[in-house]
Every structure is written in C-alpha cells, then in structure tokens.
Chain A
Amino acid sequence: MKSTQRKTLHIPKTCMNKDNSRSLTTLSSECGETFKKRIVLTKQGDVLHWLLVFEKSSPKIMQIAVTLAARETQAHIGLIWRGTKNMASDINLTVTHEAAGTGSRMVFGATLEGASRVHFRGLARIAKKAVSSRTHCSAKALMLSPRAIAFLKPDLEVATSETIAGHGSSIGRPGDKELFYFTARGISEAHAKKMMRDAFIQAIRNEITLTQTL
C-alpha cells in the first residue's frame, strides 16, 4: 500500500465568527527563528480558537502568551508539533486568567521522528480575582524514533479556590496492540506507524477545533 499523503490543514488564517469567537491559525511557514506573540482578550465573552501547526520546520524559540482580561473570555489553543530530522523547539505557552468566569484549554501534541527535540512548557496562571475559572492543559508526545527527546512541563499556578484546574501529559510510542492490529491486516509496520501518527495529530486538531465552549 502506498504511504498516505500528509494532510494539509484547511482552516482560514483569521476568521471572526458571528458568535464573538475568533479563529486563528499559525503555520510554521509564517514564523522565523523566533516566534513571540501575545494576545489579550479584553471584550467580555470573547472566545479565541488558535491552532498552531509546525511541521518540517519550526522556530527555535516560541513564546506565546494569552491573557484573559475580560470576564467570561475563553481561549482554546492547540499546538501541533511534527518533529522530523533535527527539528528542535523550545516552546513557552502561558495563559493568564485575570478575570472571573474565564476558561482556557491548551492542547499540545508532538510527534517526534529522527533526532527531533521539543521542550514544551504550558503554564496556566489563575489570578486571585479570576474566580469561577476553569483551565485544562494537555501535553502529549508520540515518540517515533530512538534518537528523539521530549521534555514536557505542564504547570499550574492557582491563587484562588473558586476554580477547576487540571492538566495531563503523556509520552509514549505507538502501542504494540495497535501495531499488531494493522500488521495482521497486511499493513506494513512503517505504514501503520504513519497512520497512527496522522491519527494522533488529527485527534489533537479535533480536540481544539471542535471544542466550542468550556
């Protein structure tokens, strides 16, 4: 069987939706060696959906900060990092909840091939006055090469009790059971791994693009 083509993400780069929500997409081709971006949501009820996709190349240093400054604002940030060859990135993603009733969701997914290396720090900071806020950070890395290195730091700083905060992270390789399932159906191991990698990325994408509200 021929190998599957890499799927291109067809999402408009910037799109203001009717329901006060804004969708952003950032691709690796738009970024240089360093990528720094800060977004502040200042209008009550604003919702940000931001998908960042890095493949083939990526900035060495990324500093992304989102501040939820107005009540009931939300940020859904998905970061897909598809590491190949010697790709290396140091990513800092910070979401600060400054107002009450705010929500955030950070989803980081990395697949690591070759000698790629990723260092991800996702920090959710909930200020004292950001009561009734919710946040969740998920960081996952799929290790596809013995030379790859993943470093995940999903941090939480919570300064109030009126909140629900959580994070989860995992690092692993494609499961033996799943590989067996594919190979038992005549699909080569290399091809099965590619399919699993694409499914892993698709799941991350879905998690962020299909989540409407918290």
Chain B
Amino acid sequence: MKQHYPYGFHDSVTPLYRMQKGLSEAVVREISAIKSEPQWMTDIRVRALAVFTKKPMPTWGADLSNIDFNAITYYARASDKPAHSWKKVPKKIKTAFERLGVPEAERKFFAGVGAQYDSETIYHHIRKDIEAQGVIFTDTDTALREHPDLFKKYFGTVVPIGDNKFSALNSACWSGGSFIYIPKGVKVTMPLQAYFRINEKNMGQFERTLIIADEDSEVHYIEGCTAPVYTTDSLHAAVVEIIAKPRARVRYTTIQNWSSNVYNLVTKRARAEDNALVEWIDGNLGSKITMKYPAVFLAGRGARADILSVSLAGKGQHQDAGAKAVHLAPETSSSIIAKSVSFGGGRTSYRGLAQVTKGARNARVKVRCDALVLDTRSRSDTYPTIKAEENDALIEHEATVSKISEQEIFYLKSRGFSETEASSLVVSGFFEPLAKTLPLDYAIELNRLIQMEMENSAKPA
C-alpha cells in the first residue's frame, strides 16, 4: 500500500444518512425515493439493476474477483443539499476540500466548480457571467428536477443501461455527478471543474455526468478524485456521457488519484456530430484497479476525436486503461496516444479499439502506445483492436514497450541527480503530453505526485 499518498486522510464526518450495506431492488427504490425522482427514472433504475444482476463479471481484463458487492454501502449523504458558496458547506467537509486545494483552485482557474462527497454533491457554483450566457452547470440530481426535458432527451443515449455490467450498476444506483449544457455558439474559455471525494469506508460512488455541447460551442471540463486509505475496498463506478453537437468542441480532463483501495470501473463515452471535436485527456495515477476506456463515437461527417491516456502503476496497482474510437460517418478522424509506466510490481494494460464501420468513408485513425517498464517485477500489456469495414480507411497503430533508457539515467546521474530523481525526471518527461494540457499549478502538482510515487517505490518493502 502506498505510504505517501498525500490525500489519504480521513475526515471525522458522520453522514446525515447512510444506507445498510448490500444491493437490492429495495435499495435502488429507496435511492430514487430519497431524491423524489419521477417514475420513469425509478423504472430505469430497477431495469438497470436487473441487467446488472444478469450480466456476468467481466473476466477479460483486470482481476475483479475480490469485489464483494454485499460489503458496499450504495448511498451515504453528508449534507442536506448542495451549497452555492463555500461558507455554507459544513465546516468539516469544507476543511477537507481546503486541504485538497479545491476552493483556491476555483478562485484561480475555473469558471465553475462542483464538489461531491460520497454520494451527494455538497457544493456547486458557476460564475455569474457564464451563467448569464445560458450555460447550465449543476449537479445531475438538480438537473433532473429543474431541466427534466433536456435531461430525459439525452440521459442514457450514449451509454445505454445494458452497455456493460458497471454501467448497469451506475444506472441503478447513480447519485451526484455534473450536468452541463452549453448553448449554441457559447464558448466557455475557462474550464469547469468537478472534484469527487470518497470519505466513507466500503463506499460505492456512482456519479453520473452528462455534458451537452450545442452547436458551435466550446467547453473544457476537469475532474479530480481522491479517497482516504483504508484496508478494505471501495468502488467507484461512474458513467460519463458527452454529446457534442455540430462544430462543438469538448475537452474532458481526468486526473484520477484514488487511494490504493479503490476499484475504479468507469464508462466514459462521447458522441461527436458533424465537424465536432471531442478530446479525452485521461490521467490515471491512483486506485487499486482501474478499468477505463474513454470512447468517442464519431457519428457526424468530419467529426474528430483526440484521446490521450496516461497511466502510472506502482505496487499493487493494475491500470487497465485505453481508448476507443468508432468511426460511423465519412471523413472522420481520430488520434489516440497512450502512455504508461509500471514500476514496483505494478501492471499497466492498454486496451483499445479503432473501428471503421461500413459507410465511414475516408476515415483516418492513428494510434500510438508507449510503455515503460521500470523493473523486473512490473508488467505491461498492449491489446489494441483494429477493425476496418471500408477499403479507403487509413488506420495506423504503433506500440513499444521498453525499459527506461540507461543513457538518460546516466546523463542525469552524472549531473548530480540520484537514481530515483533521475527516474522521476524521465517519467515526468514521458508524461509531458498530459502536463501540457493542464493549468500550470496542476502540471506542477502532477510532477510532484509522480516524484512521490517513484520515491515510494524506491524504498525497500
């Protein structure tokens, strides 16, 4: 277990309400009742639970055999309702977010911030000038109440409930998450941020995020996540759906830094319409096991996808990450870059799909995977899938797995760096494409985290 995980602190917050452990139809109906949801949503939840129960556990990826669904709490709330000012957030929770630097980051970089604590959003705020342009940035539960037509129109259209076992689980138990609507032609120049924190032991967090970027609009959304270090496991099974309308641009950045007792099993998918651009920037640093493959369905002519997936796996971690680009329309293009580093017995896997379906004429796909394996205890796998059903598709894939360059280490050591410092620098350089997309302070923090992880791995077990 990581010893220097800086966000592994636990807050002594007693939840206002916590459900009994275990999952049943009664639990699902109770979640729906607590939220006073319309009947159609309750029905979706119950249907999704049936799908979840019916679907077998996936065995093709990371080892999920130790997840005990009966040992998980599926709903816990720490506050009554989301606050719109940090002053109104309960003091202990506010202190936790201050330790995580969220309010300070909001002042510096963001047009809006949401913060989720266990099952519920405890804070949501958007700058007045952004709101005045018609932008909706709120938690998903509020969106269901206040924007029911918009919500119903898009909910579950990109990730249907039966898509996979964990999207079904999310559809049954979802709570919290962000809802974003960007009206036609509006360009949100500063990013919107959401921060997800699990505080309870054996907690399941199932947030649901829905982003709709209307024609010619632009938005950048950043999410971060942390949890305390416990000896028992928690589960994070989120679903993210993005709809990028014609000519819209959506960038979705994730810096996943869960503690090493969290199973992170997330379904992220976007639909890009005519000439839209969707960018997934996916950094996976924490968690015990991550299985996450951000996908873009290129449904409109000229749509584009850019996916950058970065993983760092240390002792006891398996980062099974990757990306999917499915070309459904002509003149579409996608670029996937995956980078991973495994050390201290960690394991990284790239699992990806580049598919050109019938009718997607002149599609272009480029996939590049690079993996560094830093020691003989660690492992790296690459499982790309390339499928073409059009003869004018151009698909390229390249992958390498190698150890850290001895020349680079020697160069740095001869200039006074220790072996660990030199390795950290090389790894930070390897992750530069991710750091370049982040606000400056975040990039510095990313490098600091990498250095800490590497130092930790260098210590004797």
Contacts and interface: CB of A to CB of B under 8 A. Distances in A.
Interface of A: 112, 128, 131, 141, 143-146, 148-173
Contacts of B371: 158
Contacts of B383: 153, 155-156
Given A151-B386, A162-B403, 6 more contacts: A153-B383, A156-B383, A156-B399, A160-B379, A162-B376, A170-B396
A161 B386 contact: no
A171 B403 contact: no
Given A131-B376, A161-B403, A170 B382 contact: no
A167 B387 contact: no
Given A161-B374, A166-B398, A166-B401, A156 B391 contact: no
Contacts of B396: 168-170
B199 interface: no
Contacts of B397: 152, 154, 167-170
9 contacts: A143-B390, A151-B385, A151-B386, A151-B387, A156-B381, A165-B400, A167-B399, A169-B386, A171-B386
B401 A165 contact: yes
B399 A166 contact: yes
A163 B379 contact: no
B450 interface: no
Nearest to A168: B398
Nearest to B404: A161
Contacts of A172: 393-395
Interface string B206-221: 0000000000000000
A169 B384 contact: yes
A161 B378 contact: yes
Contacts, number: 111
Nearest to A128: B376
Contact of B395 (A145, A162, A170): A170
B374 to A, nearest CB: 6
Contact of A158 (B373, B385, B389): B373
A167 B376 contact: no
B385 A153 contact: yes
B437 interface: no
Contact of A148 (B376, B391, B399): B391
A5 B401 CA distance: 41
B402 interface: yes
Nearest to B364: A172
A79 to B, nearest CB: 16
B37 interface: no
Contacts of A128: 376
A161 B373 contact: yes
Contact of B393 (A156, A158, A168, A171): A171
Contacts of A131: 376
A158 B402 CA distance: 9
B378 A146 contact: no
- 10 nearest A-B pairs in the assembled complex, by CB-CB distance: A143-B391, A161-B373, A165-B401, A156-B382, A171-B395, A161-B403, A166-B400, A152-B386, A171-B388, A169-B397
Nearest to B373: A161
A167 B395 CA distance: 14
B394 to A, nearest CB: 5
Given A131-B376, A161-B373, A171 B394 contact: yes
Given A143-B391, A146-B390, A156-B381, A168 B376 contact: no
Nearest to B374: A161
Interface in B347-398: 356, 371, 373-376, 378-398
A154 B387 CA distance: 12
B394 A155 contact: no
A111 B218 CA distance: 42
Given A158-B379, A161-B376, A161-B378, A153 B403 contact: no
